[in-house]
Structure 1
Amino acid sequence: GLGEVVVAGRVIPDHFRMDASGNILEQVTGVKKVALRTLPDGGTEETEVPPERVEAPSLDGAALSRLNELATTCEEVFGPGRDIEWAVADGDVYLLQCRAITRAGSSGATARPTVAPPEVVTSVPFFEGVDADEVERISSMFKHRRFSAGETITKEGAGGAAFYVIDSGEAVVTSGGKELNRLGHGDYFGEVALIDNGARSATVTAATEVECFGLTFWEFRPLVQQNATIAWNLLQTLAARLRTARE
């Protein structure tokens, strides 16, 4: 299906790492419960993935080989350090976009950073007390996302695998059609998804254009396993949320 469910953090995608010769160095199969597919007459449709395909690899060896050839060609034509977008249809791999990998600040003062500034990381309670080197590493894991006014960021009852920090704009939190809260600059949501990848407890919709930074479950989990400060802060954050819910 289409990649929007990956960008929105609603599925855990497969992870493949290959060397320049096309040898598979690492393969981790994700969990893909929903798919977004195009309709013959236009538009898209969300469907459930058959149980036998939920944890099956999305690409076979032949597709990975063709993808490796495409990546190699892009580097030969456009230079090293490429971020490419691609699609597979009827067994063929198509290049959709190829651009240079950018970092925060690399395109001038007015450019929107592609990774989170350090202050975004340190504003989140469960990253408090983390040393500067670790903050920089975590910053590189956050990815910039933009949502138009009226666009759904997370959907109640749907699978969730990402956590978001709002940089600008306003979002509305609803459950069962009832408005619960409004979020703005510095607010965050979806942290429970970083723990269990369970269903979202509420819908978050962009009231205005929203710029935010997202962190996925599969990137966050190793941080907790390797850093006791983050693990303890996260426990305190979740305990506070539970206490508030009971009051």
Structure 2
Amino acid sequence: MSLVPLNEALSEEEFGGKAVHLGAALRAHLPVPPGFALSVGLVERVSAGEPGAVAQVRGLLDRVGPSVAVRSSAVGEDSANASFAGQHLTALAVRTQDGLIDAVKQVWASGRSEAALAYRRKLGKEGTPRVAVVVQHLVASECAGVLFTCDPLTGADERVIEASWGLGEAVVAGLVTPDRYRISREGLILERAAGEKDLEIQPLPSGGTREVAVAPERVNTLCLNEQRLQELHALATRCENHFGRKQDLEWAFAGPQLFLLQRRAVTRVG
């Protein structure tokens, strides 16, 4: 089958590393938003405009929506030795069936961009990129960011968290200077440093996203309180217990709920 719920994505050759990692997290009862994995073959058929493949994917919006995130899950992406973070397009707040098809085509094409091909060459990866896709319910987050279960630069055995207002793309894309937090393995908060969070990315009701100026009083206000830091620490511990040390997580808070959006191994230490 070329289209499966995320928790049934088992083959990296068919569905790529990101989908398989998210599927494993769902099977471990971690708080991953629901979604579907589109195989390499299905994505290629959609990109070629095959009517049957297009019809199969168009129906996903009713099953996952009303607003979805469309992300690449290329074969070899987010492995223990490489992360393609930032190399492939991500489409956020997709709200129409035609928009979903366009997003899948754009993600497929982004795997063939000069930047992505250059990164593949740097890693010594040969052959044509094989891009699968993840379609997930979009979490309209109040704050979001990344969490490393070890310091990705020094290798120190502590949690490092970067956080900002709105959708996590503001952190991932480097649009703001995020808050930075350090937590010991035992859960002791070692550092809280406010960033310069002068904009946030918000989903639009009509689809897509916009950059919005943050109110001056919130620019340097920490976006994570004690309770949320401890919830992130607990999530990091659960991920490490299940998948091993040195995890790189993307997360989001929407109301009281913490979501795990992506999980991969830390690929740069020291």
Shorter-chain TM-score tier: 0.3 to 0.5
Query: TM-score, normalized by length of structure 1?
Result: 0.40
Structure with higher RCO (Cα < 8 A, 6+ apart)? 2
